[in-house]
């Protein structure tokens, strides 16, 4: 009987240590956020988050505003080899530096 008490006390102590470890183990340790996963621009347009740029060849490098306006002044249908793509008309007034609001999607 005395041996069983020692075994029971040992199991209770081990269980208590495991319980304390589960509760307090990750306190104060924050995982490093992936800075590209939830990246959003700092500027809201009309209270909305601007859409991200798709990975089209023309979007991969921001050159200047006039390059953006060549496609987005009016709605245009284009083909980059992977099928037809519709470049939507810009739904707001012209603003300098399109890349300050619209970021490239991952």
Contacts of 52 (CB under 8 A, 6+ apart): 102, 103, 104, 105
Asked whether the predicted pLDDT for residue 4 surpasses 70, the reply is yes
Q: Please state the domain extents for the chain.
A: 2-100
Asked whether the predicted pLDDT for residue 13 surpasses 90, the reply is yes
d(CA 60, CA 102): 12
Q: Is the pTM of this model over 0.85?
A: no
21-26 contacts: CB < 8 A, separation 24 or more? Answer: none
pLDDT tens sequence across 74-87 = 888 888 777 788 88
């Amino acid at each position: 009987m005395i041996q069983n008490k020692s075994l029971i006390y040992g199991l209770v102590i081990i269980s208590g240590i495991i319980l304390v470890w589960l509760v307090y183990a990750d306190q104060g340790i924050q995982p490093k956020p992936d800075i590209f996963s939830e990246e959003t621009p700092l500027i809201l347009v009309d209270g909305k988050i601007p859409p991200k740029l798709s990975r089209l060849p023309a979007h991969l490098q921001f050159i200047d505003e006039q390059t953006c306006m060549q496609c987005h002044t009016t709605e245009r249908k284009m083909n980059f080899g992977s099928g037809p793509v519709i470049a939507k008309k810009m739904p707001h007034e012209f603003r300098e530096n399109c890349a300050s609001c619209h970021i490239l999607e991952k």
